[in-house]
Amino acid sequence: FVTARHSSEAATATPQPVHHFSLKVAILGADGCGKTTLLRKQESMDTDLTVIAQKPKPSNLSPLPALDKPQQHIHSELELDPADCPSIRFQTSTYTMNDIQYRVCFWDCPGAERYRNLTLRYSAGAAGIMVVFDLTRRDTFEQACEWIKLAEETCPEAVMLLVANKDACQSSPRQISRATAEQFAIDHGFNYIETDALTNVKVHDAFRMLLCKIIEDIPLPHDAAVFRREGVKIGPALLTDKQLHRFASESSRATRHSQDKQSASYDMDWL
């Protein structure tokens, strides 16, 4: 049983902007390692990713509809039953790269062991996964390793990023060396970055790194394969193209058919 509960910010927000593509990013990790603070600090990030990563546009590609500058942040929470389950916070932000707009839905998932299956359900179909651990707590790194293994099984196509938090913490000693975390990331084939959410050190860099890698892996807009990629969906700005609309519809039906009804609702209706 899931009901949507919108924050006051969402209730007063103006209508959501039209976008070309939408995608989901799940934020996983142990409770108390700073996932929610990282997501909140992301709100001040520049919405234009073009200066960070350039994706070339072929000369024979039809121009996409021009859109207004995106409104960035819309906040919501999910209120779950039973009542003792914590709310799952999600935030929608729109970014631009090379005049193409990407609407990103970030899911801040609970990290407690008893909610593991629930978290995996809500992260299903993500285009990107940010796994966070606390540099001052070894147990959170061990849990991050477990989350990564599970995510690789449930979202094999997702772009992964390992994020170490509390890099600037002075009150507690560091328990995980950079070399250890970097080697783990290298062994699994994804990037690693150290941040401090409290002081906003490299938080924006972490989100840019993940988003740019996801966008770089998306096929060009008129390639139908984009609609078969997990976690990436066509946006309203492209639905006027009949061929693209047909591919999007076929992809949606195929995804729903391949999953049970409950899982499909988590995967396809996340925006």
Question: Three-class SS string for 133-161?
Answer: EECCCHHHHHHHHHHHHHHHHHCCCCEEE
pLDDT > 70? residue 69: no
- The pair of three-digit structure tokens given for residue 137, joined into one six-digit string: 């707590």
Residue 260 pLDDT: 43
Q: pLDDT, tens digit, for every residue of 165-189?
A: 988 777 788 999 999 999 999 999 9
Nearest of 87, 142, 157 to residue 118 by alpha carbon: 87
Kindly give the pairing relationship between strand 2-6 and strand 21-29.
Answer: unpaired
pLDDT > 50? residue 262: no
Alpha-carbon distances of 179 from 158, 176, 182, 194, rounded to whole Å: 24, 8, 5, 12
| Rounded Cα–Cα distance for residues 230 and 246 (Å) | 17
Q: pLDDT, tens digit, for every residue of 214-240?
A: 988 876 655 555 555 556 777 777 666
101 or 243: whose pLDDT is higher? 101
pLDDT > 60? residue 109: yes
**How high does pLDDT run on average in the chain?**
74
pLDDT > 80? residue 82: no
218 or 158: whose pLDDT is higher? 158
